[in-house]
A and B are shown apart, each in its own frame.
Chain A
Amino acid sequence: MTTRYAGYSGRLLDVDLGARTWREFPLGDRWVELYLGGKALAARILWEELEPGIDPLSPANLLVITPGPLTGSGAPASSRFNLSTKNVLTGGVLSSNCGGTFGVHLKRAGWDGLIVRGRADRPTWLAVDEGGARFLDARHLWGLDTEETQRDLSPKVGRICIGPAGEHLVRFACVVSGHRVLGRGGTGAVMGSKLLKRITVGGGRRHPAHDPEAFRRTVRDWVATLRGHSITGRQLPRYGTAALVNGTNATNTLPTRNFRAGRFEAADEVSGETMAERHLARNDGCLSCPIRCGRVVRHGGGECKGPEFETIGMLGPNIHNADLPNIFRWNLLADALGMDTISLGSTIATAMELRERGLFPELPVSFEDHAGMDRLIEDVAWRRGVGAELADGSLRLAERRGAPELAMQSKGLEFAAYEPRGAVGHGLGYAVSNRGGCHINGGYLVFFEALGPLNIDPLTPLAKPALVVFQQNTMEAVAVAGGCVFTTYAVIPDLPAWAVNPHGWQARLVNQVLQLTRFALGGQGKMSPEAMPFHLPLLPHTKALASYTGVKMNLGLFSAVGERSYTLERMINLREGLLGETDALPPRLTDELQRPNEPRSRVPLAEMLPVYYQVRDWDAAGVPTRRLLDKLDLGDLAEVADEVRGRPEKFRARRRALREREAEVLGAALASAREWAERAARERDRWREEALRACAAEWAARVRRASFAIDPDRCRRCGLCAGECPVGAIAWRRTERATIDPAKCIRCGRCAAVCPPHFDAVRFVPVPADEDRSRVAFRVLPDKCEKCGLCFRKCPVPGAISWRKGELAVIHDDACVACGRCRDVCPPKFGAIERFVRPAGDA
């Protein structure tokens, strides 16, 4: 039974790359109500379908790509989609989130998600539309960077792809979609291991809202709120995320020299303010977003994408670099090669510290010398020389070099650009985050502690566990809905001018009270989803979901979706052997003081962690209790939870075995990827031509078996098809939708070829067997052809007939759709074109 809720198609596309087949994976009401979509739905699918203990780079790993219910709905900042898979750095779960247009196109193609299994036998381009998946040749794209890989695609098509880093299985390789990135945890390496170079998607299905009027009102108010708020309306549009450089520096949370300090003396040189003053060309943003936090900067005589705060932090202060144009260049390079800039910067910083200690003397760069960085970044992506060692991420590098404590990571994933000894709750978030050392998945507590509008003591462990849980659940739910987490920053209203003096005793009192949050929010894990049956004006996601999809939604249910999603991902981690002991931080952050004169400037993790488990209603070992699983309708997971509690050794052994085998799996996959890269370098031109021919032949084969009709619901009356129809068979006026006259139509498919993919209004209608033209062909009779070229000029299919002045025309059978237009236009006195039927069995 597929779902009845609006905004859903009720099916996911389930693709097997190895067998080159696909099937529909149904999505029913129950899963919609419990998981909505996005990372929660993906986590449930991973729980069901992912075999525990497999290597993330093996064919058994799955890619699950899911937009949220609000993706493409027109709600502000809601064009996001999620990719979940097994994490290449941690061996646990990975969910990575991205803006841009891919998710919107996937929904328009009539799919609530995409599941990719297996491994292709050659570099593959997966093309998705409403009719399913097609497996196209991408051999000619193998080895190209992400820019070149996307160059031949229409801007109207959703796309994701990988660069050389993904092909070479760099453990922090990312997936790139336009100029946006699914950054963390090695998504690109998983695609690379499947020899999947790119996925494109397009379609024209629209999803009307359940209650259009209520949805329209909600969106209108929501946009006004975001535009009016000081963070989403002023800071982010003006300075982007880079405004945080000066903010984190002022609050001791800017990681410097591999997280040895929280302040960088030259921070202002790389700040968002400096970028805006000296380099900013204009803002950029995702579809339907009023915030537009993206940057376009002037650089190297042209314009290019500007770096985000995380990139600046990790490739700036954390490697002791104060040159902003350098960061611009490295950011572009990392994007082109397809690598996560956070893990890249952090791994380089770890390598630099190893070199300082004499443990990595052959590293060509240091905290003082960045001259060799460009070369090093390329070497990492192609796994050349010392780059090959860095390509495994900071933890594996530091372990191999004998100083694992220098890797600034949790569970294997590098921290983002916040030094948690200046905001200790943020440190707790890093330690417990399901993805590894992630700021977003960790609850982004630095917003409450140091950067946002509230004054909560950043160094006290009080209240922090409860706040982390609250934030994690909320941000998780927002991501699940398809929304950008930036929309949650408007949750705390700006203080109006008449409010109390923010620096006086009243504000300090509020701060003291906020620290009691531990008790106010302490019972979250045991709280029923029925406890908050209302909407918050500044968290309009709940109202938008209810009016758009018709799913029953309020704050309590919304928060429960986040809690369910978080718990489910935790359960996947436990099943993979990431038990409570991996909720840890490097000793630098927990034992060493950031500032010698401030005894609290370290992360008191041991104090916060038990409270965190308690607030979540997990047991002392960090395993969700049966009560919690029942509350979240995850009762069927309780058996595994009990097993983890009873036999933790079994699960630890599973993880150890994975680590022991990983070099072997990587080696085998890498050998094949390298072989394809070498062959592509030699045979690219031939392969490109073959790929183009194959595309044309595939199109021709479809057209030969079809007639055409225009879908009145999709046609936007642009008239393109009518103008292009070679026989005038399409009636159209500005005020009327186009219609095809079957009596005149020669079924050449030109209308389908020119209809814009985002309309996709021309339907392929299968024809009866006697009208199937699969075997029909045309040929030029050399003794009759007068070489006039009329057939070449009138042929409606580009590339099907070639002709040059003074030469015979040639009909290319593989691209020809057998419409017969050439024969019709050939002057009767020549009669130079002959129709014939190929015998059965003739290719």
Chain B
Amino acid sequence: MVRVEFASHLGRTLGVREARVEAGSVRELLRALSRTHGRPFDEAVRSCKVIVNGTNVAFLQGERTRLADGDEVVLLPPLAGG
């Protein structure tokens, strides 16, 4: 099981702040979430970063990044402040 956190307004859009999903890779994870949450998720996730245990998957193997039991994934929409 992978723990997924929907950060910032992504959580508001989906109506939940986190989920537990069975997935072996980032691609599988996104597909599973897409099935559960449908179109709002597909639209929102376009601009999100996928962060696995503190590292952006863009610097791992992208969508092919393997996920293991207990991994923590954050879907992070663009944020700013200061």
**A→B interface (CB under 8 Å):** 230-231, 234-236, 238-244, 246-247, 250-252, 262-263, 272-273, 293, 308-310, 416, 422, 439-440, 444, 447, 450-453, 455, 457-459, 485-486, 489, 492, 494-495, 497, 499, 501-505, 507-508, 511, 595
Q: Which residue of B lies closest to A502 (CB)?
A: B46
Q: Report A-chain residues with C-beta under 8 Å of the C-beta of B74.
A: 246, 250
Q: Report A-chain residues with C-beta under 8 Å of the C-beta of B24.
A: none
Asked whether any CB of chain A lies closer than 8 Å to the CB of B9, the reply is: yes
Q: Report B-chain residues with C-beta under 8 Å of the C-beta of A452.
A: 78-80
Asked whether any CB of chain A lies closer than 8 Å to the CB of B58, the reply is: yes
Decide: A235 near B46, CB < 8 A? Known: A246-B7, A503-B57.
Answer: no
**Cross-chain contact of A250 among B12, B54, B78 (Cβ < 8 A):** B54
**Cross-chain contact of B80 among A250, A263, A458, A489 (Cβ < 8 A):** A489
Asked whether any CB of chain A lies closer than 8 Å to the CB of B56, the reply is: yes
Q: Which residue of B lies closest to A475 (CB)?
A: B82
**B→A interface (CB under 8 Å):** 5, 7-9, 11-12, 17, 26, 30, 43, 46-51, 54, 56-59, 62-63, 74, 76-82
**Cross-chain contact of B17 among A230, A273, A502 (Cβ < 8 A):** A273
- CA A422 – CA B59 in complex, angstroms? 13
- CA A504 – CA B46 in complex, angstroms? 11
Decide: A485 near B54, CB < 8 A? Known: A246-B74, A504-B63, A505-B62.
Answer: no
CB of B35, distance to nearest CB on chain A (Å)? 17
Q: Which among A238, A272, A450, A503 has the greatest number of chain B C-beta atoms within 10 A?
A: A503
17 interchain pairs, CB-CB under 8 A: A230-B9, A235-B80, A238-B9, A239-B9, A251-B54, A309-B81, A309-B82, A450-B56, A452-B79, A455-B56, A457-B58, A497-B46, A502-B46, A503-B30, A503-B57, A508-B58, A511-B58
Q: Report A-chain residues with C-beta under 8 Å of the C-beta of B59.
A: 455, 457, 459, 511
Q: Report B-chain residues with C-beta under 8 Å of the C-beta of A458.
A: 56
Q: Which among B48, B58, B81 has the greatest number of chain A C-beta atoms within 10 A?
A: B81
Contact B46 A251 (CB under 8 A): no
Decide: A497 near B80, CB < 8 A? Known: A246-B8, A272-B8, A505-B62.
Answer: no
Number of A-B contacts (CB under 8 A): 123
Q: Report A-chain residues with C-beta under 8 Å of the C-beta of B17.
A: 273
- CA A116 – CA B50 in complex, angstroms? 51
Decide: A451 near B79, CB < 8 A? Known: A247-B8, A250-B54, A505-B62.
Answer: yes
Given contacts A273-B7, A511-B58, A511-B59, 13 further A-B contacts (CB under 8 A): A235-B78, A238-B12, A241-B82, A243-B9, A246-B5, A250-B74, A251-B54, A251-B56, A450-B56, A451-B79, A453-B78, A457-B59, A503-B57
CB of B62, distance to nearest CB on chain A (Å)? 5
- CA A239 – CA B11 in complex, angstroms? 11
Contact A507 B82 (CB under 8 A): no
Q: Report B-chain residues with C-beta under 8 Å of the C-beta of A236.
A: 80-81
Decide: A485 near B47, CB < 8 A? Known: A230-B77, A247-B7, A273-B17.
Answer: no
Q: Report A-chain residues with C-beta under 8 Å of the C-beta of B81.
A: 236, 240-244, 293, 308-309, 486
- CA A809 – CA B66 in complex, angstroms? 91
Instruction: Give the 7 A-B residue pairs with the shortest CB-CB distance, closest first.
Output: A241-B81, A250-B74, A453-B78, A455-B58, A489-B80, A247-B79, A451-B79
**Cross-chain contact of B82 among A238, A251, A440, A453 (Cβ < 8 A):** A440
CB of A67, distance to nearest CB on chain B (Å)? 20
**Cross-chain contact of B47 among A252, A489, A495 (Cβ < 8 A):** A495
Decide: A234 near B56, CB < 8 A? Known: A243-B81, A273-B17, A503-B62.
Answer: no
- CA A328 – CA B7 in complex, angstroms? 22
**Cross-chain contact of A243 among B8, B43, B57, B58 (Cβ < 8 A):** B8
- CA A230 – CA B81 in complex, angstroms? 13
